[in-house]
Every structure is written in structure tokens, then in C-alpha cells.
Amino acid sequence: MQTHLRGRDMITTQEWTKSEIDTIIDVALDLKRKRAMGMPHAILRDKVLSMLFFFTSTRTRNSFEAGMAQLGGHAQFIDHQTTQISHGDTGKEIGEILGRYNDGIAIRQCDWGIGNDYIRGVAKASRVPVLNMQCDHFHPFQILADLLTIIEHKGDPRGKTINVSYAYAKSYQKPMSVPISLILLMTRFGMNVRLTRPPEFKLIPDYVEQAKENARKSHGSFEIYDDFDAGFKDADIVYPKAWGAMLTTTNDDESARISQQYTNWITDERRMAMAKDDAIYMHCLPADRNIEVTDGVIDGPQSVVYDEAENRLHVQKAVMALTMS
């Protein structure tokens, strides 16, 4: 267990060692157990987390807010539209000033080509930890929750096959932060990671190279598929979700036209049957029901989507307790 994590930012898990991530999972399980037994754990009494949202959220906002209350502190919700950001407050000012009022700053800024740079700018100016609640590159708390969920359902991740796949959705050009974060983290745990996507839905090449290197070091594997059905074959874990074709086009109409070629990339019962009998279905939510995944699969016995959503609470509490105490 690592005990020197006070003051650390969580922008991407790639900047935390494997041993530090093991510590997060260990503390998350301890806090989960304490909550299940009704044991108080006010580790962050009198501490305040500032949560700045440039995008909407159901799970992230609620789990951070509930988590801070359970730790004895307070989380303040700030919608960027109610701030002076559009009138000139820069990332430097947000970091300097909110860092003087609060004990942590959490930010969701998913704008393509902007979000990660913005969060890093705030972190540079801040005297307190900055937590990435999702940007255009990373969604670290989602995939920490996913790792905990995999461990709970599958035990040791080493040697397990996870299929991180594109799926069709027509709602909007969703960030590629979840698949990038998944391939970066799961390759560090000795998993056999498949990235399955059409050619227009490539992920940022630097991170794909890092995933390959992670897999080499952990004695796992990393492969890229472009056949949706093939990705399911004999997988232990399937994680098909939509993301945008931002590396191909940033034009929404063009992106919608490209996506239309892949309307059959839907997770259904036939495809689930190609995975191992005890395979689990994962999705970070929200999902486009009966477009991205059928009701039968997402509500079926192999789906663990609500465990994933719950585990957001526990891993976030762990990171806050370790970095903000």
C-alpha cells in the first residue's frame, strides 16, 4: 500500500503507478465495506471539493457530491454558465482562486481539443489536488470503477480478455475518453485487451502506442480488430460503447453520415452468446438503448452496469481520501 498520495492530481491513471492504483482499489473496498456496515468514515471533515462542470452529468455529479458528504466534507456544484468564465476568468484564475477556497478542484470539460489542456492549466495553478471528472482524452474515475467491478466479478484481471469496442449511437459525437482510458489501464493489469472499431473511429495514436507498451510490460496483450462480431468471440468482458469520429472529422453532419454505415454495431443477445458463457457486459452509461445495446442485454443477467455506476462512489471516495486528507 502506498501512503504518500496527499496533494496528487488525478488527471489520468497513466500518471499513477500500478502500486498506487492497487492502493486506490484497496481503500475503495475498505470504504465500500464500511458504508455497507453503516460505519462512519468522516475522513474529510471540514474539507470542501469544488466541482466545475462544463458538461451535464448524472453519475459523476451525484457520486462525487454523495461521496464528499459521506466523508464528512462538502462538495459545491458549479455550472460554468453561472460563473465569470465566459467573461474572462482563465484556467489559471480558476486554479489559483478556487484552490485557495477549497481542498480539491474537480472538473468536467470534454470539448475536443480543449478539455485536457484546460484541466492541466488549472492543475498547474492550483495548490490543491485537481481531479478529472472527464475530459476529451480521459475519464479516470470511470475506469477505476470499471477495474473494481472487473475484480469483484472476475477476480484477478491477469489473463482475462476484455473487448473495448465501438458501438453505434446517434445521440452525438461522444468523447473517446472512456475507450482511451480503458485500453491504458487494463493493459497495465496483464489483461488481453482488444480494441474493436471501424477505421474511421481511431483513438489518439499516442495512447494506442502507450497501451501497446503497457501490455508488453505487464505480459498481457493488445490487439486492434475492425470486425464487430470478432471482438466478442470468447471474451470474458465486453465493453461496447459509442464514441465520435473526431480524428476523421470534427463536422457533426459528416460524422453522422459516417456513423450511419455502422447502425448494425449493436450489442444484442446473438453477439453476447459469442463471448464466454460467464462473460460480463459493461457500459459506463448513459447508453442509447436499442441502438447501442438491446434492452435484453443491458437488463440481462450478464450486465453489471449498475455495479459499475455504484463503484464510481467508492473509487472516488478512495482517491479523495488519499489525496485531500
325 is a site residue for ligand CP (CB under 6 A): no
CA dist 292 → 168, 242, 283 (Å): 5, 7, 10
- Residue 317 per-residue DSSP state: H
* 74 bridge partner residues: 48
* 135 bridge partner residues: 109
In the range 293-322, which residues lie near ligand CP by CB under 6 A?
none
Q: Which three cell numbers stand for residue 27?
A: 481503500
Q: How far apart are CA 60 and CA 185, in angstroms?
A: 19
Q: Whose Cβ is closer to ligand CP: residue 43's or residue 246's?
A: 246
Q: Which residue is nearest to ligand CP (CB)?
A: 60
Shortest CB 309 distance to ligand CP, Å: 7
- Candidate list 48, 256, 285, 291; residue touching ligand CP; CB under 6 A: 285
- Candidate list 8, 32, 47, 59; residue touching ligand CP; CB under 6 A: 59
Shortest CB 311 distance to ligand CP, Å: 11
* Number of residues located near ligand CP, criterion CB under 6 A: 8
In the range 109-168, which residues lie near ligand CP by CB under 6 A?
134, 142
Q: Whose Cβ is closer to ligand CP: residue 112's or residue 225's?
A: 112
Sign of CA dihedral 308, 310, 312, 316: negative
174 is a site residue for ligand CP (CB under 6 A): no
Q: Which three cell numbers stand for residue 6?
A: 496527499
Q: Whose Cβ is closer to ligand CP: residue 51's or residue 130's?
A: 51
Shortest CB 59 distance to ligand CP, Å: 4
48 is a site residue for ligand CP (CB under 6 A): no
181 is a site residue for ligand CP (CB under 6 A): no
Region binding ligand CP by CB under 6 A among candidate stretches 5-13, 54-62, 206-214, 253-261? 54-62
Shortest CB 21 distance to ligand CP, Å: 19
Rg (CA), the chain: 19
Which residues have C-beta within 8 Å of that of residue 118, sequence separation ≥ 6?
91, 107, 109, 111, 135
Shortest CB 131 distance to ligand CP, Å: 13
Q: Whose Cβ is closer to ligand CP: residue 160's or residue 283's?
A: 283
CB 167, CB 202: distance < 8 Å: no
Which residues have C-beta within 8 Å of that of residue 216, sequence separation ≥ 6?
none
Q: Whose Cβ is closer to ligand CP: residue 58's or residue 251's?
A: 58
210 is a site residue for ligand CP (CB under 6 A): no
Any idea which residue has 458463457 for its cell?
277
Shortest CB 276 distance to ligand CP, Å: 25
Percent of residues in the chain assigned helix, strand, coil, to nearest 5: 45, 15, 40
58 is a site residue for ligand CP (CB under 6 A): yes
97 is a site residue for ligand CP (CB under 6 A): no
Region binding ligand CP by CB under 6 A among candidate stretches 20-28, 57-65, 99-107, 123-131? 57-65
Shortest CB 171 distance to ligand CP, Å: 12
Residues that bind ligand CP (CB under 6 A): 57-60, 134, 142, 284-285
